[in-house]
A and B are shown apart, each in its own frame.
Chain A
Amino acid sequence: MSRLQNTLAELKAAGRKALIPYITAGDPDLDTTLQLMHDLVAAGADIIELGVPFSDPMADGPTIQLAYERALLHNVGLRDVLALVERFRSHDNKTPVVLMGYMNPIEYMGYETFVSSSVQAGVDGVLVVDLPPEECETLTAMLHEQNLDTIFLLTPTTSDQRAAEICRHSSGYVYYVSIKGVTGANTLDVTDVKRHVDRLRRATDLPIAVGFGIKTADDAAAVSRVADGVIVGSALVNIIARSGQGDTAVEISSQVSALVSDMRKGMDAA
């Protein structure tokens, strides 16, 4: 069993839901990201999704676009992100890290180098936004061979037939996108989420995590009642963005920790 699968199995056995924060690597710089990763774990995160900066984030709203731009100001690329995970691993050998990003940086690095460097660095899973199951065969086979998990997105527009196909390529967990739209939109409808999650249960036994539109501890608690995991991204990235308005690393760190630990409490009490 992979580290990611192990973590999810332990959570399930304990009757708890996974809290999965997303931050962008290199936003505002790599040292801050490393500190924030440890902060997230201390505040109750179970799994970390780490965004790999890309110049053309087609599926992201302004919040994460700007995070990518802040990281790209000092040219943070896939190699730097892998090195960051390696640094994280020297102090935390337990918390799974999932890379989330777009296909071109992986294409340009080459699949073989990407997979072997990911193993070397201690990456646990990979989620590529613009890699649907139709195109994923080669890369997922290489990742699975090295015991890395492949996480795919499911959306409100995904048909039952597609859901089955996507889940067939998925391992670790599946990511249900709660809205039609880009990251950062704010129209969470928990009743609708429940309906879709229940539908997806028929396609998979994998844990179903839900993301997009989860901003507050109440949102997290509500979603944790209907799904196996809660992913929070833009709300955290919005805090990190205040680095641009003069907030210090310490201030950002304590605000990020506060939101994550509120979410944790809300979810555990739900």
Chain B
Amino acid sequence: MTEQRDYYQVPDLRGHFGIHGGRFASETLMNALEELSELYGRMKNDPDFQAEFDRDLAHYVGRPSPLYFAERLSKNWGGAEVWLKREDLNHTGAHKINNTIGQALLAKHVGKRRVIAETGAGQHGVASATVAARLGLDCVVYMGADDVERQKLNVYRMKLLGAEVVPVTSGTRTLKDAMNEAMRDWVTNVDDTYYIIGTVAGPHPYPMLVRDFQAVIGRETRRQMQAQAGALPDALVACVGGGSNAIGLFHEFLNDPTVAIYGVEAGGLGLETGQHAAPLSAGKPGILHGNRTYLMADDNGQILGTHSVSAGLDYPGVGPEHSWLKDEGRAQYVSVTDDEAMAAFRELTRTEGIMPALETAHALAYAKKLAPEMGQGKRLVVNLSGRGDKDVHTVARMDGMDI
């Protein structure tokens, strides 16, 4: 008999997931990070805090999100049953709000009047601006100048919600640069500002606490699958940018050895072209944004520019827990190209009447390959992390239209 591995012993007290994770931050932030660890350590076990979080998820976000059996899609793909975890139906249209609700409660508890956030696709920015509006907090969102351009709709949503959106023109003008700028803001305004990181990256305790807030996705999925199909899923598929929607689905099932786990990275124009955002598939470990993790960098250790059709996956790093799950062999990380993702976007829209975000479309494109391999009688769950409204402009432009 092989011994059952326990995947719930990470991170350790210093935020390490094996060799990954940790807290590689500048000294000015260390105190704030320690305070946040201490605060979260208390809140995690505080029934009042957890009840407040659950209440907000139910009545403000609209949870539980449905688990939907995509019958026509399953038939088209000819193999495993495809089930969609409908995070796109959450308030603001993506999984991102689960985390911002949790972190906003933390900010409220410590009485911070100002929140900042980084955003790529704008979904985390919108989710942050939303909770800030609800709590009456000032909100500043950093966004790469190129992303401001390709996610115009979300930029305007944030402004309507009362947030200030700061376009970041340094570096590659995308998500990683937005994160640098948010860190700089935090270093400068650490006394009155709470930094809401939008994914399972950053220095400890962020990868852990964002994971915990997102883990509701997997907990619901287990319950719903049991109720609707009387079984566990056989496979889970989610797209991986920083990795928050993926870990949110995966975490609940890590100790279930019959559940196969697949994270899908952005293959851009193809891994062989170098024009992609797939550090787990094609990178090596290094240190960026406060943690050790797989990165895309050159021989000098300079972080490389990434390419993906989807702004939310356009990031050269990844959450450290994914790096650890890869090293442990518990999850497999694969990639699909821009073109495959675009085709999946169109296919889901036409087949099920559900328009996914371009990030999410990456998970679908891989599920399309996996379903026939798994075969009839198996069940796979795709995390439908967000809806595609924000991407309609991008798709229209590809179709040669200006709307």
The answer to whether A130 and B303 touch across the interface, beta carbons within 8 angstroms, is no
The answer to whether B287 and A107 touch across the interface, beta carbons within 8 angstroms, is yes
Which of A179-187, A190-198, A202-210, A247-255 is the interface stretch? A179-187
The answer to whether B184 and A58 touch across the interface, beta carbons within 8 angstroms, is yes
Q: Mark B146-184, 1 if CB is under 8 A from A, else 0.
A: 000000000000000000000000110000110010011
* Chain A CB within 8 A of B330 CB: no
Instruction: Say whether, besides A55-B303, A108-B297, A180-B188, A153 and B23 are in contact (CB < 8 Å).
Output: no
Residues of A within 8 A of B64 (CB): none
Residues of B within 8 A of A130 (CB): 24-26, 287, 290
Q: Chain B interface: which size bin?
A: 35 or more
* Chain A CB within 8 A of B22 CB: yes
* Chain A CB within 8 A of B299 CB: yes
* Chain B CB within 8 A of A158 CB: yes
The answer to whether B180 and A57 touch across the interface, beta carbons within 8 angstroms, is yes
Chain A 93-152 interface residues, beta-carbon cutoff 8 Å to B? 102-109, 129-132, 134-135, 152
Residues of B within 8 A of A109 (CB): 301
State the CA gap A132–B190 with chains docked (Å). Answer: 18
Contact of A107 among B26, B176, B187, B285 (CB under 8 A): B285
* Chain B CB within 8 A of A173 CB: no
* Chain A CB within 8 A of B31 CB: yes
State the CA gap A129–B288 with chains docked (Å). Answer: 12
Residues of B within 8 A of A59 (CB): 26, 28, 183-184, 187
Residues of B within 8 A of A185 (CB): 188
* Chain B CB within 8 A of A245 CB: no
Residues of B within 8 A of A132 (CB): 23-25, 27, 30
State the CA gap A1–B286 with chains docked (Å). Answer: 33
Shortest CB-to-CB span from A27 to chain B, Å, is 15
The answer to whether A155 and B301 touch across the interface, beta carbons within 8 angstroms, is no
Q: Taking chain A's interface residues, is the majority helix, strand, or loop, or is none over half, making it mixed? A: loop
Residues of B within 8 A of A108 (CB): 284, 286, 297, 299-301
Residues of B within 8 A of A79 (CB): 300
Shortest CB-to-CB span from B315 to chain A, Å, is 12
Q: Could you tell me which B residues sit within 8 Å of A by CB distance?
A: 14, 22-32, 170-171, 176-177, 180, 183-184, 187-191, 284-290, 292, 295, 297, 299-303
26 contacts between A and B (CB under 8 A): A53-B302, A54-B302, A56-B171, A56-B177, A58-B184, A59-B183, A60-B184, A61-B184, A69-B170, A77-B299, A104-B287, A107-B287, A108-B284, A108-B297, A130-B26, A130-B290, A132-B24, A135-B14, A152-B27, A155-B28, A158-B27, A158-B31, A177-B27, A180-B191, A181-B187, A182-B187
Given contacts A59-B184, A156-B28, 17 further A-B pairs with CB under 8 A are A56-B177, A56-B288, A56-B289, A58-B184, A58-B289, A77-B300, A77-B302, A102-B287, A107-B286, A108-B301, A131-B24, A132-B24, A132-B25, A134-B22, A157-B29, A180-B190, A181-B187
